[in-house]
Chain A
Amino acid sequence: MINIVYRLISPKFFEESIDEVELDGVVVRPTYLSICQADQRYYQGSRPAEVLEEKLPMALIHEGIGEVIYDKSGEFESGDKVVMIPNTPMGEDVCRANYSYKSKFRGSGFDGFTSDLIKLDSSRVVKIPDDFDPRVSAFIELITVAYQGISKFSELAITPKDTLGVWGDGNLGFITALLLKNRFPDSKVIVFGKHLENLNLFSFADESYQIHNVPDTLAIDHGFECVGSSASQSAIEQIIDLINPQGTINLFGVSEYPIPVNTRMVLEKGLTIQGNSRSEREDFVGVVETLKQNPQLFEYLEKLVTNICEINTLADLKEAFDKDYISHFGKTVLKWNK
């Protein structure tokens, strides 16, 4: 079948292109999509020139939901609402598929979701209930990244989980802190951020502090770094200072630059540092189940929806990226009508 794909040709320039797909998987019509920082870096051209040269043209966006149009296998029914999994394993591996070199990722290694239709393997699609808020569901993928990090953390941590510190008052910090509070309701979740107006939104957290105003006596059992970029250096430094011996440091923030770490104190405290990136099917199933069981989470998560842009034309898509770029907090959700 012929499919129309809307690709980023060069920074800030989208164009229609035509693709041919076999009808041997699940065909999904995208409905609500969400812009991620990684998309924004391609759109702004802030990735290194050789990366842009290698990856573009490519359709962006790896966070999104849609409706099943066609499934030859009959596993899904037409009209089923689904969340799409961008990670696409291309072979077996000994590690989780989201860390495998054999996996491809939509909107990074191959086309993302900005197209008329999307064909996916049935294992790359998870059904969501009809009553899920589509604006929040659009960024389930981001929630799964926090979810898989927390799942790994809960297996890794050997010391008590009484006090959990989350660094970063952006989207991922908000989601990570919210999921931690939901999963460990008896633990104290403390958020550390720079922007008071953002920290005020973390009303579900037990405490929150601006990073320059932390009491000397404060200590945490485990730390979650959701800062990213060069600022993750100071965040990691503060975590190492505040963390109790044998705690875990869970890294989520992406940085284009190498980040120096105080390894002396990591050794002295016997800390474990765990990296987190992307997610896999079990995380999507887990998040959908968590949201089903805890519908009150939608109330908090919808605070992240700061822009809703209806996309009828490529000019609308461009405008949505520009709007997202100047937003300090929250997610830009695309109501996909193109």
Chain B
Amino acid sequence: MIFAAILAGGIGSRMGGTDTPKQFLSLGNKPVIIHTIEKFVINENIDKTIVLIPKNFINHTNNLINEYIGENEDIIVIEGGETRNDTIMNSIRYIEDNFGIDDESIIITHDSVRPFVTHRIIRDNIDAARKYGACDTVIPATDTIVESVNGETIESIPVRDYYYQGQTPQSFNIKKLFNLINSLTEAETNILTDACKIFTLKDEDVHLVDGEVTNIKITYPYDLKLANTILEDGND
């Protein structure tokens, strides 16, 4: 089976100024998270879309789904975790308990605040996860990356051609991901903020999928303003 996990576990602490988590703010005529869910729900290859959300927003999210998408048994809203990896683990546990995990099962994990993800990116993620077991969506870095450990002076300037900006989805063979997470030491768990990093830490290949410059993450108020402006412009 193919599952999508929409990660909305965070409370959007970086959005500032507003009490509403960023995934619930409006983009055009709908909340950001609804736009994101729609991309996965219309994809026939995806069996279930699991939305992981802070506990106190579960009812609200279900109400929004009913209002904008309608009742849909393929969308499941459950509680996220403390960290990103905890949230992913919650989704895997849910899948294991309710559907079982076979060798072929795939999970497509995606930020709830990236509503501009394309059908092509999701398709390429499914293909790459099936073929390679793990993939990450990236675009080539356009800005020069500088490394500074002390935050005051430059340590090094890596060759830009080798650097990419990570987007989502990140997709995995569930069994492989589950086994790798369970093999982590506590020290390793503490430093892992990214699911793909678990694979690289364990010397497992993660395949690159081409992202899109439009696949932006709505993190700051500026991003939402920008996204709404681009959307209005496109709808003219």
> Is A1 part of the contact surface with B, judged by Cβ < 8 Å?
yes
> Is A79 part of the contact surface with B, judged by Cβ < 8 Å?
yes
Complex alpha-carbon distance, A23 and B27, angstroms = 16
Apart from A23-B42, A70-B43, A116-B119, 7 more pairs, CB < 8 Å: A2-B38, A2-B231, A16-B212, A18-B214, A29-B119, A312-B210, A338-B120
Given contacts A69-B42, A69-B43, A70-B44, contact A17 B233 (CB under 8 A): yes
Given contacts A2-B116, A4-B212, A69-B44, contact A19 B235 (CB under 8 A): yes
B44 touches A1 (CB 8 A): no
Give min CB distance, B68 to chain A, whole Å.
10
> Is A20 part of the contact surface with B, judged by Cβ < 8 Å?
yes
Give min CB distance, B107 to chain A, whole Å.
21
A18 touches B234 (CB 8 A): yes
A-B contact pairs, 28 of them (CB 8 A): A1-B35, A1-B39, A2-B28, A2-B35, A2-B115, A2-B231, A4-B116, A4-B212, A5-B234, A16-B212, A16-B214, A17-B230, A17-B234, A18-B231, A18-B233, A20-B29, A23-B38, A23-B42, A29-B119, A69-B42, A69-B43, A69-B44, A70-B42, A79-B44, A116-B118, A116-B119, A117-B119, A312-B210
> How many B residues touch A, CB cutoff 8 Å?
25
Question: In this complex, what residue of A is CB-closest to B231?
Answer: A18
Question: In this complex, what residue of B is CB-closest to A312?
Answer: B210
> Is A337 part of the contact surface with B, judged by Cβ < 8 Å?
yes
Residue in A16, A20, A337 whose beta carbon sits within 8 Å of that of B231 in the complex: A20
A contact residues around B35 at 8 Å (CB): 1-2
B116 touches A18 (CB 8 A): yes
List the 5 closest A-B pairs by CB distance, nearest first. A78-B44, A70-B42, A116-B118, A17-B234, A18-B234
Give min CB distance, A77 to chain B, whole Å.
8
A contact residues around B213 at 8 Å (CB): 16
Complex alpha-carbon distance, A20 and B27, angstroms = 10
Q: Is the interface of A mostly helix, strand, loop or mixed?
A: strand
Complex alpha-carbon distance, A63 and B5, angstroms = 36
Interface digits, B75-102 against A, CB 8 Å rule (1 contact, 0 not)? Answer: 0000000000000000000000000000
> Is A27 part of the contact surface with B, judged by Cβ < 8 Å?
yes
Binding site for B on A (CB under 8 A): 1-2, 4-5, 16-20, 23, 27, 29, 69-70, 78-79, 116-117, 312, 337-338
Complex alpha-carbon distance, A212 and B233, angstroms = 53
Interface digits, B23-46 against A, CB 8 Å rule (1 contact, 0 not)? Answer: 000011100000100110011100
Question: In this complex, what residue of B is CB-closest to A78?
Answer: B44
Complex alpha-carbon distance, A23 and B213, angstroms = 24
Residue in A5, A18, A23, A69 whose beta carbon sits within 8 Å of that of B119 in the complex: A69
Q: Kindly count the residue-residue contacts between A and B in the assembled complex, taking CB atoms under 8 Å apart.
A: 61
A18 touches B230 (CB 8 A): yes
Complex alpha-carbon distance, A186 and B95, angstroms = 66
Interface digits, B209-233 against A, CB 8 Å rule (1 contact, 0 not)? Answer: 0101110000000000001001101
Give min CB distance, B84 to chain A, whole Å.
23
B contact residues around A79 at 8 Å (CB): 44
A contact residues around B44 at 8 Å (CB): 69-70, 78-79
Give min CB distance, B23 to chain A, whole Å.
14
Give min CB distance, A26 to chain B, whole Å.
11
Question: In this complex, what residue of A is CB-closest to B35?
Answer: A2
Complex alpha-carbon distance, A96 and B234, angstroms = 31
Complex alpha-carbon distance, A117 and B123, angstroms = 12
B235 touches A116 (CB 8 A): no
B120 touches A20 (CB 8 A): no
Give min CB distance, A298 to chain B, whole Å.
27
A contact residues around B210 at 8 Å (CB): 312
Given contacts A4-B214, A18-B214, A78-B44, contact A337 B120 (CB under 8 A): yes
B38 touches A20 (CB 8 A): no
Give min CB distance, B128 to chain A, whole Å.
14
Question: Quick one: which of B161-219 are within 8 Å of A by CB?
Answer: 210, 212-214
A contact residues around B42 at 8 Å (CB): 1, 23, 27, 69-70
A contact residues around B115 at 8 Å (CB): 2
Give min CB distance, A127 to chain B, whole Å.
16
B contact residues around A17 at 8 Å (CB): 230, 233-234
Complex alpha-carbon distance, A1 and B120, angstroms = 15
Give min CB distance, A88 to chain B, whole Å.
18
A20 touches B235 (CB 8 A): yes
Give min CB distance, A116 to chain B, whole Å.
4
Give min CB distance, A314 to chain B, whole Å.
10
Give min CB distance, A16 to chain B, whole Å.
5
